[in-house]
Chains A and B, each alone.
Chain A
Amino acid sequence: MSQIVLQAEGINKSFHDPITIPVLKDINFSINKGEFVSVIGKSGCGKSTLLYILSTMDTDYEGNLFIDGESMKQKKEGQLALVRNAKIGFVFQFHYLLNEFSVLRNVMLPGLKLGTYSEQEVEHRAMEKLKILGIENEAMKMANQLSGGQKQRVAIARALINDPLIIMGDEPTGNLDKKNGEIVFNIFQELAHEFKQTLLIVTHDNEFAKSTDRIIEMHDGRIIKC
């Protein structure tokens, strides 16, 4: 039996402004190690909201969330930050690189924050990640000198730096053209199959979803297919 990386237990969430609207209703599912999972659904069905709860950034929900067997419900802001740092890698629709830093430094930042390795080692690891993504030649450029597709690849390298348990993506190809989108998608495939990386990707691109191991489909705040 494979190891459970992430487990959601009866997660409910409502928005209260201006009137109470339930957005997530009784979400129960779990993700095993090495799975490549996509979450699909129409706009407004709550898939992004769910992702932010699973990522520990949104703490305003009912129910319980386990990451690597640990409950996230009781943890404080600082502890959650540590969990995100060590166990979760993010790729967003927008790349969110820091323009003040070089590409290499951007990738290194979460690694330096974690502090498991020395600065030289983190740098070495960052270069390796960039190599996997085929952008090691851009390492010394500033983040704003890169093209959109390259930036997104840097963002993926940044997500990988701490060897996270799971990588979460919120429409990671949404902002890219078809060609770059495919490149990014192929990278995810490679990560999943060659490196056995657990991936949870929210997308509205059904073709993207079809080629993943498992599709979670959402409708009106409920999981209708798991």
Chain B
Amino acid sequence: MNIKLIISIAKSLLLARWKQTLVAAIGVTFSITMFITLLSFMSGLNDLLDGLILNRTAHIKIFNEIKANPKQPINLSKKFKENYNFIQSIKPNGARQEIYNNGAILKALKADNRVMGIAPKITAQVFYNVGTIDITGVINGIDVEAENRLFFFKDYVTTGNYIDLLNVPNSIILGKGAATKMIANIGDVIQITTPKGDRIQLKVVGYFQSGLLELDKVQSYASLATTQKLLGKPNNYITDIQIKLFDITQAPKIGKEYAKIFGTDAEDIQTANSQFETGSSIRTLISYAVGITLLIVAGFGIYNILNMMIYEKMDSIAILKATGFSGKDVNAIFIIIALSIGFFGGLVGLLFGFGLSSVIDQIPFNTASLPTIKTYPINYNPKFYLIGTIFSLVTTYFAGMFPARKASKIDPVVIIRGK
């Protein structure tokens, strides 16, 4: 089969009906453009929403849950071993939230090569005092540098400098909501009450805005040392260890392993935030479904146009066959016509898709809950462009396959004698 000749015939047939060809190609272009834009935008949004949680959530959190001891004395007793024991009104015992022997644990974690980084943390329940009113709040004592490195702390400090937590003694970064409630400006000194009843004054060095409004009304941040001091604890006191892994998918497995080794509770991110993954995957599914539907509609357009072309070109096909072109050659001609509509339409579609996504990327998108976002999010993943290319070729191939087969089966005798 002489490919060059086949292509030149296909090209001539295409150009002879260039208006129809253009309409068909525009169909493909439009659908690929929308496919790319939709997926880039949807995926950008997904990343944004996931990032809202994932960036700031530890892959594994090691902590001590306040809960009843699973080893109750009656179950340990040999006498009642055969019985099924019902115990009522169990209370949690030894309610110490701190992680024992955390120096050794931190050292072990640092040595583990699956771990990207660790950030110790203290969670302290406090009351913010506003005049005579007490507002419940949580102060997170953090290792400021580790927190910034692993969880992008800086991005969420909207006013003030995060590093002041280290530089200014007894300082606090207030949640935006909490600050508004307390009418606390930068540089002001606020008063809090610790669970033990001590009153402590802290200097406001910044505002923190997470994007989750409820959280910002409650959460504030201070350095580890400040928090230890306000709780009256020694400097080895920490309640949580946040771990970031190189491979997030390993989190459940490694989490279980750590819980066993260190004798603490360990919560992995998949368990804690399963709803986000579900949401993302469904949004992605919908975008693909819409994109593929568009392409299939474009495919029907190509099918129609090729069918019409074949009816118009009956004579030409018959004479090609009479002068020595086989059914295979004719089939190849029409497949090439379909594929080139798909290829060029798709190529322009990819460019337009990229252009449209770039335009969307420039549209201002300011929302109080997302301080780091200034424009609509777009994900320029090359994967979408690859999928778009493949889909445009596959749908146009199928759209061309049936008309091409029909053309290849044309009997030249019937056409030529019919005149």
Contacts and interface: CB of A to CB of B under 8 A. Distances in A.
Given A92-B416, A100-B16, A81 B326 contact: yes
Nearest to B415: A96
Contact of A93 (B13, B316, B419): B419
B5 A82 contact: no
Contact of B5 (A92, A99, A100, A113): A113
Contact of A57 (B9, B322, B325): B322
Given A77-B326, A81-B325, A115 B2 contact: yes
A78 B327 contact: yes
Interface in A53-108: 55, 57-58, 77-78, 81-82, 84-86, 90, 92-94, 96-101
Nearest to B16: A100
A1 to B, nearest CB: 30
A101 B12 contact: yes
Contacts of B411: 57
A90 B416 CA distance: 11
A85 B412 CA distance: 14
Contact of B324 (A81, A94, A99, A101): A81
B323 interface: yes
A113 B417 contact: no
A57 B412 contact: yes
A46 interface: no
Contacts of B417: 48, 52
Interface in B367-419: 411-413, 416-417, 419
A23 interface: no
Contact of A113 (B15, B324, B416): B324
B16 A96 contact: no
Contacts of A92: 322, 416, 419
A114 B329 CA distance: 12
B318 to A, nearest CB: 7
Contacts of A114: 324
B326 A78 contact: yes
A21 to B, nearest CB: 16
Main secondary structure of the interface of B (DSSP, over half): helix
Interface residues of A, number: 30
A113 B325 contact: yes
Contacts of B416: 52, 92, 94, 96, 170
Contacts of B419: 92-94
Contacts of B316: 96, 98-100
B110 interface: no
B12 A100 contact: yes
Contacts of A57: 321-322, 411-413
B328 interface: yes
Nearest to B411: A57
A81 B323 CA distance: 8
B323 A113 contact: yes
Contact of A84 (B9, B315, B322, B327): B322
Interface in B80-129: none
Contacts of A98: 12, 316, 319-320
Nearest to B327: A77
A153 interface: no
B86 to A, nearest CB: 85
A139 interface: no
A78 B411 CA distance: 13
Given A58-B413, A96-B318, A158 B324 contact: no
Contacts of B15: 100
B2 A113 contact: yes
A93 B329 CA distance: 25
Contacts of A94: 315, 416, 419
A52 B5 CA distance: 26
A149 interface: no
A78 B331 CA distance: 12
A35 to B, nearest CB: 22
Contact of B13 (A86, A100, A170): A100
B244 to A, nearest CB: 64
B323 A84 contact: yes
A94 B328 CA distance: 25
5 contacts: A57-B321, A57-B322, A96-B416, A100-B16, A110-B323
For the complex of A and B, list the 3 residue pairs with the smallest distance between their C-beta atoms, beginning with the closest. A85-B324, A81-B326, A96-B319
Given A55-B322, A97-B319, 18 more contacts: A52-B417, A57-B322, A57-B412, A58-B413, A81-B321, A81-B326, A82-B324, A82-B326, A85-B324, A94-B315, A94-B419, A96-B315, A96-B318, A96-B416, A98-B320, A100-B316, A109-B9, A113-B323
Interface of A: 48, 52, 55, 57-58, 77-78, 81-82, 84-86, 90, 92-94, 96-101, 109-110, 112-115, 158, 170
